[in-house]
Structure 1
Amino acid sequence: MPIDAARALAAEPRVTTLAWTRKDVLLYHLGIGAGRPATDPGELRYVLESRLHVLPSFVTVAGDRGVAGEGAGLDAPGVDVDLTAVLHGAQRIALHRTLPPAGEATRTSRIAAVYDKGKAAVLVLRSEAADRDGPLWTSDTQLYVRGEGGFGGERGPSPRLPAPGREPAYVVDRGIRADQALLYRLSGDWNPLHADPEFAALAGFERPILHGLCSYGMALKAVVDTVLDGDVGRVRSYATRFAGVVYPGETLRIRMWPEPGEAGESGAAGAGRIRLTAGAVERGEAPVLADTVVEYG
């Protein structure tokens, strides 16, 4: 079997050194659509090095040159899968400190779980990064591998959040440029699914799809800009389930619900959390991100 769960779980953690510069941060921000309009002070904090604030979702590509972000985990011991069968299922990051615009860190990564979903397997890759001043971030990446289930393993959790039951406090539309996936991939995700029409067809898509982590970054930026007054340092954690695809050229609609009794709909200072969803406008708001929560302080 291509996935040997016991071997993958028993493997020694992989330790790598990460390094990033302001140029890497600027490229990432441009890849998720920052800088429009180019003279907007709120956008310049993402694209001008003298004012640079680092969006926390940058950790998914920081210093990395993997296939699916965060080192991918697809070359771990016990894992040998067809790339066309791999989808990014979910992502969670927890921030321990505000990210510096340039730095070095040591990342420790391991396969934390292998779940058997019947028709597919789910790999959970856990990564922890720290620099000389201490922990920076922790991330969990879930990779959904079609056709690799049925090996008798634990099914694992299937968390779903109930619908908020009220109208969103904020609705933001973000247009996706036709070339955005080509730009975003320069931050390290070279999966041809996002660039090569022939490869995308083999994977069952009509054309290359946008990276899930690009949608992830776009949605977090919308939350920071709309609810958190542009303060990237307030984000404590950010989790989502990738519920569907969005294509370059489409529009991502992000709906946001600040939790009652926390920061409220005014975005006032304080700790709280924000529920959000994201959908593709041109396809009837077909789900893109679901079960999504941003926690902030």
Structure 2
Amino acid sequence: MPLDAATALAAAPVSREIAWGPGDVQLYHLGIGAGVPATDPRELRYTLETRLHVLPSFATVAGGGPPGVIRALSVPGADVDPARVLHAGQSLTLHRPVPVRGTATAVSRVTAVHDKGTAALLVLRTEAADADGPLWTEEALAHMRGEGGWGGDRGPSGRPAPPAGPPDAVVERAVREDQALLYRLTGDRNPLHADPGFAARAGFGRPVLHGLCTYGMALKAAVDTLLDGDVGRVRSYTTRFAGVVYPGETLRIRMWRQRPQGREGRIRMAVTVVGREDAPVLAGTAVGYR
């Protein structure tokens, strides 16, 4: 069915109860490449239950089930072919540190549908809160190919200028051949990341890594490299998905630290693939920190 922007925007919010524990957090951390070297004390913060800290990007998979970009397809008026949908971007705002164990209510609704001409861009916002108040707010951007052209608002088009000067840090992170297969156990069972036939129908030569896996890998690199491994310092995290990563490739993560006077600090990042002439995969990426 074609996208009906008016129906999607008018749809009632959807509420769901979510719960998670240490095992879910550990699985997520392993899925984004934590635990190498396995006995490194810095990695044990992500893998050992007696020392466990929660990387904030875990919020995107807390409670299991499909990620926001897939949940968007169940919204009335947005029932389109999943093979034509790409995750275009993700943002996360932390109101408090994510606990190792918790239960919360997550409320999702479509906040915008933009007409990009050849495609539509749908924004699904999810707000999670527990008994003590708000925990996090996330926005998933779904790029729906072939669903634009109805004359709607194009939405914002400006992109932040790339950081100036040499980066403060550059790290490389290898993506394991089986990483997409492990990461999908956190709840994103989209066959694009495991089924060669489905990937071919979507226009890819083979299954691709989850964008949210790359998202988590980049945040971990920033926390470990520029924030002294302190996950509690992260206040926000946003990115635009600019390209795909294939399992077995290596990411190059460049980081620039910015700390404006009187405001929270920012880390700007550019994430590329080493073996494809630094092809960009994350763009407009920024971490807000205290």
Task: Specify the TM-score bucket, using the shorter chain as the normaliser.
Answer: over 0.9
**In structure 1, the residue corresponding to 2:72 is in which secondary structure?**
coil
Cα distance in 2 between the residues matched to 1:71 and 1:208? 17
Cα distance in 1 between the residues matched to 2:112 and 2:260? 35
Residue 71 of structure 2: aligned partner? 72
Shift of 1:142: 0.3
Residue 266 of structure 1: aligned partner? none
Residue 144 of structure 2: aligned partner? 145
Residue 127 of structure 2: aligned partner? 128
Cα distance in 2 between the residues matched to 1:131 and 1:261? 32
Question: Which amino acid is the alignment partner of residue 288 of structure 2?
Answer: E
Residue 21 of structure 1: aligned partner? 21
Question: Which amino acid is the alignment partner of residue 45 of structure 2?
Answer: R
Question: Structure 1 residues 275, 282: CA separation in 2 closer, same or farther (over 3 Å shift)?
Answer: same
Shift of 1:64: 2.8
Shift of 1:80: 1.1
Q: Any idea what the Cα deviations from partners look like across 1:50-99, whole Å, max 9, x if unmatched?
A: 10000000010000311x44762110111110011010001000000011
Cα distance in 2 between the residues matched to 1:170 and 1:156? 33
Residue 283 of structure 1: aligned partner? 276
Q: Report matched runs for 1:130-279 at 5 Å.
A: 130-259=129-258, 261=260, 271-279=264-272
Q: In the comparison of the two structures, how many residue pairs are matched?
A: 290
Give every structure 1 segment of 4 or more consecutive aligned residues whose post-TM-superposition deviation is greater than 3 Å. 68-71, 260-263
Q: Any idea what the Cα deviations from partners look like across 1:87-130, whole Å, max 9, x if unmatched?
A: 00010000000110111000110011011100001110001000
**In structure 2, the residue corresponding to 1:73 is in which secondary structure?**
helix
**In structure 2, the residue corresponding to 1:63 is in which secondary structure?**
coil
Shift of 1:152: 1.2
Cα distance in 1 between the residues matched to 2:231 and 2:125? 23
Alignment gaps of 5+ in structure 2:
none
Shift of 1:5: 0.8
Contact 1:254-1:278 at 8 Å conserved across structures: yes
Residue 50 of structure 1: aligned partner? 50
Q: Any idea what the Cα deviations from partners look like across 1:252-271, whole Å, max 9, x if unmatched?
A: 110000015569xxxxxx94
Contact 1:109-1:128 at 8 Å conserved across structures: yes
Alignment gaps of 5+ in structure 1:
264-269
Shift of 1:2: 1.6
TM-score, normalised with respect to structure 1: 0.95
* Percent of aligned pairs with the same amino acid: 65
Question: Structure 1 residues 118, 25: CA separation in 2 closer, same or farther (over 3 Å shift)?
Answer: same
Contact 1:61-1:69 at 8 Å conserved across structures: no
TM-score, normalised with respect to structure 2: 0.97
**In structure 2, the residue corresponding to 1:222 is in which secondary structure?**
helix
